Structure 1
Amino acid sequence: MNQRTINQIISVTGIGLHSGEPVNLEFHPQPVNTGIVFERSDIVGSTPIPASGFLVQDTMMSSNLVFGGTRVGTVEHLLSAIAGLGVDNLLVRVSAAEIPIMDGSAAPFVNLLLQAGLCEQDSAKKFLKIIRPVRVKVDDKWAELRPYDGFELNFEIDFDHPAFNKDLQHAQLCFSTENFIEQLSAARTFGFLTDIEALRRNNLALGGSMDNAIVIDEAKILNVEGLRFADEFVRHKILDALGDLYLIGYPLLGRFNAYKSGHALNNLLVREILSDPNNFEVVTFDDNVTCPIEYLPALPLAIEG
């Protein structure tokens, strides 16, 4: 199985969640072994920012990368789409300090990347294979990665609120591109009205609305259209985790289990895995048949690696 990038440059404009201002986003194909790299197009000569868990310096409401004094925030939904499609090499140019929120899910990014076309490159795709269990815990919250022949994500939330069905606070995804697109990519972020109002008083979440989030008051969901999935809340937490885990630098082979985890704990798990080479090995596969993960077919090689 080979690495992949996109076939052509593509761009979109959306709203920044915190600034409420328009943000331009561009995706550029990249050579093999480049990885995912962010660049601020609004800063002349800005330092490129690798998608690395070690560069996460702020996890309030989202995962935010800082490198060389340059910041790119709210990267998790986009990284989830990139991971879901199996893209290994990509330059993301963004005209502000945050990735646009779009509709609050990964689906708009998936559609954009598919429109650009997936391109197979002439070098083996590298996976990070978990070879021994690693768990991190803070209070009653925990997250872990365990050895597994494939990639599976299990997540449980625990909200004591009328809008949250007690029977729908656990979900599982057996990862493949098809499962990701159909079962996960459209799950939106959510927030409580009281929290959003408090954030706005501090000039945050100025772009947040029911167009890009599920908004909940003391008793119910305020969005007229309701939920896209009956268990959309926990599905979105898996979507977040998939993006956060891609900051490990490779697609994963392992089983992810989590209880009430968030961006901070997901990042702590990434750092803990990478802190000891005995936790993992980097592996490749000769072809798509032997690889335990199924991705959408890519186009023939379009740019030289």
Structure 2
Amino acid sequence: MRQRTIAKRVELVGIGLHKGVPVKMILEPLPSDSGIIFYRSDKGVSIPLNIENVVDTTMATVIGKNGVRISTIEHLLSSIHAYGIDNLRIILDNEEIPIMDGSSIGFCMLLEEAGIKELDKPKKAIVLKDVVQIEENGKFVRLEPNDDIVFDFTIEFPNQAIGKQNYTFTFNTQHYKEEIARARTFGFLQEVNQLRAMGLGLGGSFDNCIVLDESGILNKEGLRYKNEFVRHKILDAIGDMSLLGMPVIGGYFSFAGSHKLNHFLTKKLLNSTHAYEVVELGQKVSNTEKAFSMQKVRV
């Protein structure tokens, strides 16, 4: 299995979730072993995607360099990972990735418009050999060995519209589009008001977020999935794990995980050299290669 990039340059314009300002985003192909590189065209600063460049995980995953930041990267990264893309340049003229409809399906459509191109170098993956876990106040995120790429997430909220939800997702690209990509981000009305008082969440609306109050869901169209909330947490986790720079062959398990815990988990994994090995995916068809198969996905 070889590394991938996109076949042609594509672009879109959208609104940032927190600042509420328009941002133009351009995706460009890159050669093998380039990785994912963000570029702020308004600042002239490139920021390679890696865990060392994470500067904040409070409301989203944020990377930065030399005082220049790029926020809310997890939804875009989730779709990039889902299509097995290893090398890509992401050009922005502001500090946020467009929020689109609050899910990653718009980014999937953009990648399909660009097309997927295989490159000359073999694709690499992290194979888990031991358990790595982060815990905090009853919450946890954990990686453990598995022949497949699995995400198992549990959430529990006192709000009756959410309650306790669990979802297990065995990754492949087509199933990602069907089961995960359309799940939107969500927030509570009281928190939305607090964020706006802080100058954040200014781009949020019923068009890009599920909003709840004590009585339930305020969006007139309702949910896309009965358990859309936990599916979106898996969408986020896929994006956060992609900061490792390659797929992780193994299981991700979480109870009430967050961007912060995911970041700590990626750091702990890379510091636990006994817990993983990096392999090249060869010619033999493996579970991982089947997971990233593009045969059923229109490109």
The two structures share one fold, judged by TM-score above 0.5: yes
- Alignment check: 8 A CA contact 1:285 1:291 kept: no
Alpha-carbon distance in structure 2 between the residues aligned to 1:155 and 1:238:
7
Q: Report the CA distance between 1:178 and its aligned residue.
A: 1.0
User: 2-side partners of 1:142 and 1:107: how far apart?
Assistant: 27
2:106 to 105, 108, 130: 108
- Structure 1 vs Structure 2: percent identity of aligned residues? 42
Relative to structure 1, the CA distance from residue 247 to residue 86 in structure 2 (aligned partners, 3 Å threshold; closer, same or farther) is: same
| Contact 1:186-1:228 at 8 Å conserved across structures | yes
In structure 2, what is the Cα distance between the partners aligned to 1:100 and 1:289? Answer: 36
1:182 matched to 2:178? The reply is yes
| Deviation string, structure 1 residues 77-128 (Cα, Å, up to 9, x no partner) | 0000000111000000111111110100010001001100000111100001
Match of 1:144 among 142, 145, 151: 142
Q: Take 1:257 and 1:119, find their aligned partners in 2: how far apart are those partners?
A: 32
**Structure 1 stretches of 4+ moved >4 Å:** none
Matched residue of 2:90: which SS? strand
Paired residues of 2:156 and 2:163 also in contact (CA < 8 A) = no
The equivalent residue for 2:23 is 23
**Alignment correspondent of 1:301:** none
Unmatched runs of 5 consecutive residues or more in structure 2: none
Shift in Å, 1:284:
1.6
Q: Distance in 1 between matches of 2:179 and 2:39?
A: 30
Tell me the SS of whatever aligns to 1:12: strand
Shift of 1:54: 2.1
After TM superposition, the score normalised by the length of structure 2 is 0.96
Larger strand fraction of residues? 2
Q: How does 1:67-146 map to 2 (within 5 A)?
A: 67-146=65-144
Residue 243 of structure 2: aligned partner: 247
The answer for the alignment partner of 1:191 in structure 2 is 187
Q: In structure 1, what is the Cα distance between the partners aligned to 2:259 and 2:226?
A: 23
Query: Is 1:40 matched up with 2:40?
Result: yes
SS of the equivalent of 2:217 reads coil
User: Which residue is equivalent to 1:12?
Assistant: 12
RMSD: 1.2
Structure 1 residue runs without a partner (length 5+): 299-305
**In structure 1, C-alpha distance between the alignment counterparts of 2:112 and 2:126, rounded to whole Å:** 24
Query: Hey, what's the Cα distance between the residues in 2 that align with 1:296 and 1:226?
Result: 32
CA offset digits 1:161-201 (Å, max 9, x no partner): 121144xx000100010111110001000000110011111
Following superposition, the deviation at residue 290 of structure 1 comes to 2.7
